[in-house]
Amino acid sequence: MSLIEREIPGVVMTPDNIRSKKLPVVTNVLVAVAAFVVAAAVVLGLGIGNWVLVVVLGAALYLVGLSVVAGRIEGRRAARNRTMKSLIYAACLLAILPLASVVWTLISKGAARLDGDFFGTSMNNIGARDANGGAYHAIVGTLEQVGLATLMAVPLGVLGAIYLVEYGRGKFAATVRFFVDVMTGIPSIVAGLFILSFWVLIVSPWFNDGQPRFSGFAASLALAVLMLPTIVRSTEEMLRLVPGPLREGSYALGVPQWKTILRVVLPTALPGIVTGVMLSIARAAGETAPVLLVAGGAAAINMDPFAGNQQSLSLFVYQQAGDGSKFAPDRAWTAALTLVALVLVLTVSAKLLARRNKLSR
Amino acid sequence: MAKRIEASNVSSYYGSFKAIDSVSMTVEPKTITALIGPSGCGKSTFLRSINRMHEVLPGARIEGRLTIDDQNIYDPDVDVTAVRRMIGMVFQRPNPFPTMSIYENAVAGLKLNGVKKKSLLDDAAEKSLRSANLWDEVKDRLDRPGAGLSGGQQQRLCIARTIAVEPQVVLMDEPCSALDPISTLAIEDLMFKLKDRFTIIIVTHNMQQAARVSDKTGFFSIEKTGDPGRLIEYDDTQKIFSNPTQKKTEDYITGRFG
């Protein structure tokens, strides 16, 4: 008898006995059926809930029952393994459930206004009794604001991360890293207020005969403030993952450091950097508060992001959802669906682009 | 073209830790010099000091003189990239650039240093891959990723990459320690071939390898952990392996120590 056999009772598999009993599938199904029957009997018999509670209670009973039955048949270790596995699967299902629910709700409710009018017109001169009206101005606004914010935040963020990883030493780098961390926690409304007080109230009057002015650009400034820390942190992590010997291999060829970073380090880390950038873009596209504060929202099409109020998709959703018109909720749902689809398309295409540059394995 | 290397009283530090203590040796052009010794004795550190790769690590610095054909490479007005272009290095683990193809890897040093002409690059790629005994194996798939080759092929690709920039000295830091015996033999053959054009210094844990390939051998050792490494003995390989002067060298070579 081995030490393990002597010391740990109930170990079924030992060097002398490498076979163990397996729980038959029939038994597994029987346990499941029994669990749900008992759950249904308890819940419906006592009248304390409907089918939702039956499913939840049934699932819980099934997990308990399975671990007990498996413990009898398979031994403790196998039963514990089975229980943990079931818990993990259950957690996974629970995590997917809200996501699937959101997607389903968006598609089912947003499909109503998926028409040419929605994508081709604005809300200009649309009254409470008009069924048409669209989000063209909001789509334009979102694309321009997020695009400008990306143009500002990505170079700044990537360069900042390169500094932190490749050049930054000592106190200054530590301070920069600390403040980037702090920036990650800035609520979007605070970023909006900052741009409102700094750009809209102080700087914009210089360009507008002394009058403060809302603009899409102000919104993109606020969004850039929000995107920056995410981009810096994710890029930093990705650059740190590039192995040191790769850099040294390049140095050993007499390649200067800046060129090593540009041609060896960045390409190697590119797919990860793109993922980080896309995450920050997705976040920025969904922000409502800063746009409301500094771009003001609008009903009409405004193609110029540097002058005058501009709408964005998320702000459009917010306004339509709170609107009294009976046609507004449909517009809000479709706009929400559009926003999600837009971010999805951007993310997928960016990933494909980043991968196309890589050699095929 | 190959150059003579002269180290006099070279000490290397990692922060306040002294890794090697006043090493002096002269390496003649067009020879192969092997550095042997137990782990942590500073032979890799010394090797990395020769092409100023040591200072890449934060806090690392060096004292003493290291001259290549009478030019001190640690003079303040020396351009470190020029030194590294002159003194190439092959690392312990093959490190081909993962985003580049075999072709791009082979000419990476040229391309990244600004050579653009396609015909020049094509010639250099073929020449260096042939010198590295790799051409016949990869000539039909030059556009495939360099990281997709086997370990031995990757290491030969790294050697090709190194000699493509036509350095005068090639440093090898345990280039065969991750390779099987056949690939090791291929690389040793390669070293004999390269000896005509380059000065080669190789760090190795494999004493048969040192005895097989090198003209001269340097033995490094440390007293105990935390002490700096010292060059104990440096002489003709024949002499080191048959009749060493130092007791320590003899112990190490016969396997009684280290």
pLDDT score of B258: 47
B5-253 adopts what CATH topology?
A: Rossmann fold (3.40.50)
* Chain B residues touching A256 at Cβ < 8 A: 81
* Chain A residues touching B88 at Cβ < 8 A: 252-253
Angle between helices B118-131 and B151-164 (to 10 degrees): 130
Under CATH, which number does the domain A118-357 receive? 1.10.3720.10
Contact A245 B91 (CB under 8 A): yes
pLDDT score of A278: 92
Q: Where are the domains of chain B?
A: 5-253
Question: pLDDT tens, A306-320?
Answer: 988 999 999 999 999
pLDDT score of A361: 44
pLDDT score of A356: 61
Give the pair of three-digit tokens for residue A227: 């995107």
CA distance B8 to chain A (A): 23
Instruction: Answer left, alpha or beta for residue B100, where phi above 0 means left and psi between -120 and 50 means alpha.
Output: beta
Among residues B240, B200, B225, B166, the alpha carbon closest in space to that of B38 is found at B225
* Chain B residues touching A243 at Cβ < 8 A: 95
pLDDT less than 50: residues of chain B: 258
| ipTM, 2 dp | 0.89
CB-closest option in A248, A260, A270 to B53: A248
Strand B169-173 relative to strand B199-203, pairing: parallel
Among residues B109, B61, B104, B107, the alpha carbon closest in space to that of B85 is found at B109
Among residues B64, B88, B83, the alpha carbon closest in space to that of B73 is found at B83
| DSSP string of B120-171, one letter each residue | HHHHHHHHHHHHTT-HHHHTT-TTSBGGGS-HHHHHHHHHHHHHHT--SEEE
Question: pLDDT tens, A77-129?
Answer: 788 888 898 899 989 999 999 999 999 999 999 998 888 889 988 998 888 88
Q: Where are the domains of chain A?
A: 3-111, 118-357
Mean pLDDT per 10-residue section of chain A, whose length is 361 residues: 69 62 84 90 85 89 88 81 89 93 93 88 88 91 96 96 91 93 92 94 90 93 95 95 93 93 93 92 92 91 90 94 90 94 90 68 44
CA–CA gap between residue A37 and residue A44 (Å, rounded): 10
pLDDT score of A51: 85
Contact B81 A268 (CB under 8 A): no
